[in-house]
Amino acid sequence: MPLNAVIEARGLSKVFHTTVRRPGLGGALRSLVSPERVAKVAVRDVDFRVGRGELVALLGPNGAGKSTTIKMLTGILTPTSGEALVAGVVPHRDRERNAHNIGAVFGQRTQLWWDLPARESFAILRDIYGVPEDRYRERIDEYDELLELSEFWDTRVRHLSLGQRVRCDLAASLLHDPPVVFLDEPTIGMDVVVKEQVRRFLRHQVEERERTVLLTTHDMTEVARLAERVVLINHGRIVLDGPLQEIRRRFGGTWQ
């Protein structure tokens, strides 16, 4: 584990409480008068650290706790217990400061304005984050070279393909030059050509810009191309944290 960690999770846990819905009309009335609450542990005692310029893949089956962990580290969710620290900030206690330190892409959602052209969405984000015009232009030129944004720059977001939208979201998440990036299934549903373009972009951000990246994905080709270290989570607990080679050694040809 890196000594000078940029992302830290210490005993991180999250418990959700839900109401049990009983069958039938009588059960519905009893649930209304005397609701039965049950606790579901989504994440339990998670500990890991990610250093500067490191790309770590957070892996696990559906429902393992990956997205819940990401949401606690981005400040969207408040932990039930334990502590999260991102670039020296406790995310849920100082969401505004944390927002300036991180970029985030959730594969099924967009941070862009649905009815505006991509260009105008970026201009709004520039003003929100207070990015100086000269730096804004430099970053747009860099991201355009890597992601080919200009070919759909004036297209409304609702008319973009999935690959185009995610490329815009990736660039938008880095517009304010954050040191930390969270990517939750960013390439889900993309074709192989766009996936490779996104991978090249991410490698550039880690190797040339020394950004710290935490990535969740089910695409093992993506893991093999990008990550040197894997954190494997199952049933809300970390079951393995180590180099990618360790996964291959332990699971052999079946790791994919």
Cα 186 to its chain centre, rounded Å, is 8
Task: Provide the residue type at 135 as one letter.
Answer: R
pLDDT band at 213 (very low <50, low <70, confident <90, very high): very high
Q: How far out from the chain centre does Cα 138 lie?
A: 25
Q: Label residues 165-203 b or e (16+ Cβ within 10 Å = b).
A: bbbbbbbbbbbbebbbbbbbbbbeebeeebbebbbebbe
The verdict on residue 246 lying in a domain is yes
Residues composing the chain: 256
What is the C-alpha to C-alpha distance for residues 38 and 21, in angstroms, rounded to an integer? 11
Q: CB burial class (10 A; 0-12, 13-18, 19+) of residue 40?
A: exposed
Residue 184 lies in a domain: yes
**% residues pLDDT > 90 (the chain):** 68
Per-residue pLDDT at 254: 52
Nearest-CA neighbor of 76 among 214, 180, 231, 182?
A: 182
Answer yes or no: is 36 within a domain: no
User: Any alpha helices (H) in the chain, and if so which ranges?
Assistant: 24-33, 66-73, 95-101, 118-129, 133-147, 162-173, 192-207, 220-226, 244-251
- Can you give the residue range of the structural domain that contains 188? 5-10+48-254
* Mean pLDDT of the residues in the chain: 89
Predicted pLDDT at 248: 72
Could you tell me if residue 205 is inside a domain?
Answer: yes
Q: N- to C-terminal Cα distance for the chain?
A: 24
CATH code of 112's domain: 3.40.50.300
pLDDT band at 250 (very low <50, low <70, confident <90, very high): confident
Does any domain span residue 211?
Answer: yes
Does residue 42 sit within a domain? no
Residue 27, domain member (yes or no): no
Tell me: the pLDDT tens digits for 78-111?
A: 999 999 999 999 999 999 999 999 999 987 788 8
Nearest CA-CA partner of 228 in 18, 41, 2: 2
Looking at the chain, the number of H-run helices and the number of E-run strands are 9, 9
Give the burial string for 6-29 (b: 16+ CB within 10 Å, else e): bbbbeebbbeeeeeeeeeeeeeee
27 pLDDT tier (thresholds 50, 70, 90): low
For the cut 80, the answer to whether the pLDDT of residue 189 exceeds it is no
| Distance (Å, whole) CA 125 – CA 173 | 9
The total of structural domains in the chain comes to: 1
